[in-house]
Amino acid sequence: MADIEKSWLTNPRRRNALVRLAGLMAASPIASAMAVGDPRPLREHRRALSLGEMQTSFDFEPVFFGNVLLPVYDYTAHGDGSEFTLQRNRQAFNWVNILPGRAAVPVSQVDLSSEFLGVAMKFPIMVAPTAAMVPLHPDGEVGMFKAATAASNTPMILSINTSTPVAKVAPAAPGGTLWGQFYPIENRATTQRSMDTYQNSGCNGIIVTVDQQASYYERTQQDRNFGGRVRAIGFGAGGGAEAPTGAARYRINGGRLWYTWQYIDDMRKMVKGKLVIKGILDPEDAKLAIEHGADAIIVSNHGGRSMDYGPSTLEVLPEIATAVNGRIPILFDSGVRRGADIFKALALGANAVMIGRTTRWGLGAFGVSGAQRLIEILQQELVQAAAAAGCAKLSDIKRVMVKANFLANNFTSRNVRFLCKADIRPTWTDRLGPWKDWGCSRAGRALTTLLPTACLNFFRCFTSARRSKCCCRMPRQYTGVRSAHMSSDIPSRPGSHGLSIGSCRS
């Protein structure tokens, strides 16, 4: 080796150059992407859990995510618009405390059996209607119906947007209870044909959904438009379709926003069995539903998929239960993930609860056995909650068993998720201590009002800037990481998982 080469090996400039090169490589987004490998790893787990290891509904979601195509997952996970309502559905459960009013009872003594519109149920739980299950698992709706029937004969509601004809689903699980869901169609003859198809297949209950009016899944649209070329105006893949006109330019579906009570009256004449109206969020609408012949109502906002910036279903449930006053049964859905959630809904006035997104997780993760186990987990969680609260039977679950701390004007942010029952806190002027008198002055009020908002806006801008520096796909997908300081039940905007610090119907 020449002297000049030896000199270079020990030269401080060489070391500085190598350090700078290493720093440059470390800061490179390419190197960062290579280091990550899978942009959506299960960081806390070295392997996926088996079916027998599933303990909560949340355990199924990452397996479900890994099994299905991204558009299929997005359809299940996403909500309308900014997803304020999707998040609020989950947050509302954190604003309700279960109050053990008596000594706990043994689990073996808990019997939550009941009858709902003539259907005997061991647990007050039903499978909600969700569309297109075959993309989740080849067994599709047939598998879900088998799973529901095997899980203590849990009734199932089949979506009008089923990927398997009702004539094939109904006979798949002998002895099971299958109802049909329907979206209003202005043409009464078409409506009659749909009713006949359901009823001739053995569906004795018809659910008419009135809550999904004009939905726009913002995150789904963003996913479709990441990278690539600018698309044509038309909806077709080649841009050959006609461009939307009129209200359709602003995402308003022309097939909806026309529903009337006269239509319900006409449907009542077509339905031979039970007619249930799904999507009631107002006490006055609940009263009108009774007047127009509904046998039951479902308090639902379509799992946060129907109207952005609407109330959570749990918040409006007590008022609706008071207005109904026991004249007809009340079903409840949207946001249910735990047996304790079901207990809270029952205590606030529901007669039974429907689960939707979670059952899709189970079916997509492990097929029929997965959906069955998920339903059974929620059933047993409900039994545990009832036993701990001292409720031996369903009639013991009353409003006095819970304390609701609903806040009239909660702020829900995509990045800041700190409002829960523990956040009923003193005002800012109460925190000023000896400066309280000054805080009550005009200048003090202005400062104490604007300062928190300014800090919050700064934090939101800061987090948005940090996200923009990362790979655009990474923050939007499941990471499998639970946040120690956030509730694992509250879905964040990037993936609406409830498990992720980065990110379901009913």
Asked if residue 478 belongs to a domain, the reply is yes
Asked if residue 246 belongs to a domain, the reply is no
Strand-pairing partners, residue 119, are 116
Residue 179 CB: number of other CB atoms within 10 A? Answer: 23
| Residues 462, 372 share a domain | no
| Residues 472, 391 share a domain | no
Asked if residue 419 belongs to a domain, the reply is no
Asked if residue 236 belongs to a domain, the reply is no
| Structure token pair of residue 334 | 């949207």
- The rounded Cα 254 to chain-centroid distance in angstroms is 26
pLDDT at residue 158, rounded to an integer? 97
pLDDT at residue 356, rounded to an integer? 94
| Residues 145, 200 share a domain | yes
Catalytic residue among 45, 302, 485, 497: 302
pLDDT at residue 11, rounded to an integer? 75
| Residues 198, 134 share a domain | yes
Provide the 8-state DSSP code for 384: H
pLDDT at residue 3, rounded to an integer? 74
**CATH code for the domain in which residue 376 is found:** 3.20.20.70
| Residues 392, 343 share a domain | yes
Whether residue 498 contacts residue 341, with contact meaning beta carbons closer than 8 Å, is answered with no
C-alpha closest to that of 144 among 365, 361, 336, 371: 371
409 φ, ψ (degrees, to nearest 5) = -130, 60
pLDDT average per 10 residues of sequence, the chain (506 residues) = 70 76 70 53 66 93 92 89 90 92 86 95 96 95 97 96 95 95 93 94 93 70 62 49 69 73 95 95 96 96 87 95 96 96 97 96 96 97 95 94 76 32 29 36 43 51 44 34 34 35 36
pLDDT at residue 47, rounded to an integer? 73
| Structure token pair of residue 52 | 């027998």
| Residues 330, 186 share a domain | yes
| Residues 454, 396 share a domain | no
CA 283 to CA 260: how far, in whole Å? 17
Asked if residue 63 belongs to a domain, the reply is no
The SS3 of residue 5 is helix
Task: Name the domain boundary from 404, 438, 464.
Answer: 404
Number of domains in the chain: 2
| Residues 388, 291 share a domain | yes
Task: Name the domain boundary from 374, 404, 434.
Answer: 404
Asked if residue 57 belongs to a domain, the reply is no
| Residues 400, 485 share a domain | no
Asked if residue 449 belongs to a domain, the reply is yes
CA 498 to CA 489: how far, in whole Å? 5
pLDDT at residue 187, rounded to an integer? 92
| Residues 381, 440 share a domain | no
Task: Name the domain boundary from 371, 404, 437.
Answer: 404
| Residues 360, 261 share a domain | yes
C-alpha closest to that of 398 among 297, 312, 326, 303: 326
Provide the 8-state DSSP code for 326: T
Give the domain range for residue 479.
426-503
Q: How many CA atoms lie within 13 A of 207 on its CB side?
A: 27
What one-character-per-residue DSSP string does 456-506 give? HHHHHHHHHHHHHTS-SSGGGS---PPPTTS-TTSPPTTT--SS-S-----
| Structure token pair of residue 6 | 């030896």
Active-site residue flag, 292: no
pLDDT at residue 241, rounded to an integer? 58
pLDDT at residue 259, rounded to an integer? 87
CA 466 to CA 100: how far, in whole Å? 44
| Residues 440, 304 share a domain | no
pLDDT at residue 101, rounded to an integer? 66
Asked if residue 101 belongs to a domain, the reply is yes
